[in-house]
Amino acid sequence: MILIWCAIAGVIGASLVVAAGSEYLPYRTPVYVAAGFAGVVALALLLVQPLLAAGLLPGFPMQAGRRIHRWTGVALMLAVAVHVVGLWITSPPDMVDALTFAAPTAFSAFGVVAMWALIAAALLAGIRKKLRLRPQVWRLAHTMAASVVVVGSVVHAILIEGTMGSVSKTLMCGLTIGAWALTVGRLKPWTGAWRGWRRQAQE
């Protein structure tokens, strides 16, 4: 139990320390530095986010985990907002290219797709009561959107040559994929979704 916490805190801490010591930082403006770190923070939040949803984080059983999951979700949205706005201020033409899928770099497209999937997952959570979806259907939809966020963000991060160290970045991305796979395997969000959908349609 302590081991899990140590592993997670260690990888997140190491990633932040390595990024803070990057040789590229002296050549960046404060806004660019902040935008980069917002990206690292977002990746760290993405690592704990699925574990909280499944109650897999030691000390946070399902109920408590879900409550925190909502707040870390809000924090994730804020981190991505700072990341995108900060990079926009740093170089408007590069950000416009990324958002319109016209950038020369593949990681831009992965990042933007992950951003839209994050907005979709957050919207599903925010207007859950209004949507009146059956729980199984909602859960599958939210998990599918979240899966796109995880995979898109990990590919985005791996392909970028930025302030993150390659070892800590690979570890963090590996743990994030592991946490996501563990959660999806544990919660099996597809169970009952088809039946729920049919019932939903009949209503």
Partner 1 sequence: MSQSPMPRRRFMAAGAAAFLATGTGLISPVRAQGLAPTTSMRGGANNYRPGALIVDRIGEGGFMMSGTVRRAGDGVPLEGIRIQIWAHTTEGRESDARSHGATLTNADGMFQLEMPQIVPTFGQPHGHLAYDSGDFETVFLRPVMSSARDTSLSAHFVLQPA
Residues that bind partner 1 (CB under 8 A): 24, 27, 29, 87, 91, 93-94, 97, 102-105, 107-108, 159-162
CB 6 → partner 1: shortest distance, Å? Answer: 31
CB 27 → partner 1: shortest distance, Å? Answer: 5
CB 158 → partner 1: shortest distance, Å? Answer: 11
Residue closer to partner 1 (CB basis): 52 or 95: 95
What's the CA angle centered on 136, arms 184 and 112, to 5 degrees? 55
Residue closer to partner 1 (CB basis): 3 or 27: 27
Residue closer to partner 1 (CB basis): 99 or 182: 99
Residue closer to partner 1 (CB basis): 111 or 189: 111
Binning the chain into helix, strand and coil, the percentages to the nearest 5 are 80, 0, 20
CA–CA dist 72, 42 (Å, integer):
10
What Å distances lie between residue 167 and 33, 157, 164, 170, CA to CA? 20, 12, 9, 5
CB 144 → partner 1: shortest distance, Å? Answer: 27
